[in-house]
Amino acid sequence: MSYSRGRDFLFCNLCGTMLAVPSTEYAQCPLCKTKQNIKHIKGKEISYTISAEDIRRELGIDLIEEQKVQLSKVNKTCEKCGHGEATFYTRQMRSADEGQTTFYTCTRCGHQFQEN
């Protein structure tokens, strides 16, 4: 049985079966009935962000998943003070349909605005 590091908490410690989640309190191995505390699993979520998508699908936990892609300067006129330079970064929204949203921060006044 081989699976990537960081995902093993979704599998039974004893037999390696993917855990089911019959309640909000614990995950349970459907094969050998070993229980694993979900609070324990949730704690690991933070450090294993790469598997957040898998965890959410598996446990039905609603995560806010946003990734800062880049931060650089661009010629963009601030809505507030009219300054012509802002830093920006993009966030990939949860659904692929929603696409990316670009966030701008004015380098003069710090005003934040966004553009889809």
Considering the complex, state which of residue 55 and residue 78 has its C-beta at the smaller distance from Zn ion. 78
> Cβ 6 to Zn ion, closest distance in Å?
19
83 vs 54, 76, 80, 103, CA distance in Å? Answer: 43, 8, 8, 16
Residue pointed to by tokens 């459907």:
30
Spell out where 1-116 has E strands.
26-28, 35-37, 72-75, 85-92, 100-106, 112-115
> Cβ 15 to Zn ion, closest distance in Å?
3
> Does residue 106 touch Zn ion according to CB under 5 A?
yes
Name which position in 63, 69, 71, 109 contacts Zn ion (CB under 5 A): 109
Q: What is the dihedral of CA 103, 107, 108, 113, to 10 degrees?
A: 0
With contacts defined by CB under 5 A, name the span among 20-28, 35-43, 65-73, 102-110 that binds Zn ion. Answer: 102-110
Determine whether the annotation assigns residue 28 to a binding site. no
Please give the backbone phi and psi of residue 53, each rounded to the nearest 5 degrees, phi first: -60, -45
> Does residue 32 touch Zn ion according to CB under 5 A?
yes
Q: What amino acid occupies position 57?
A: R
> Does residue 31 touch Zn ion according to CB under 5 A?
yes
Which positions touch Zn ion (CB under 5 A)?
12, 14-15, 17, 29, 31-32, 34, 78, 80-81, 83, 106, 108-109, 111
Please enumerate, by residue number, every residue annotated as part of a binding site for Zn(2+): 12, 15, 29, 32, 78, 81, 106, 109
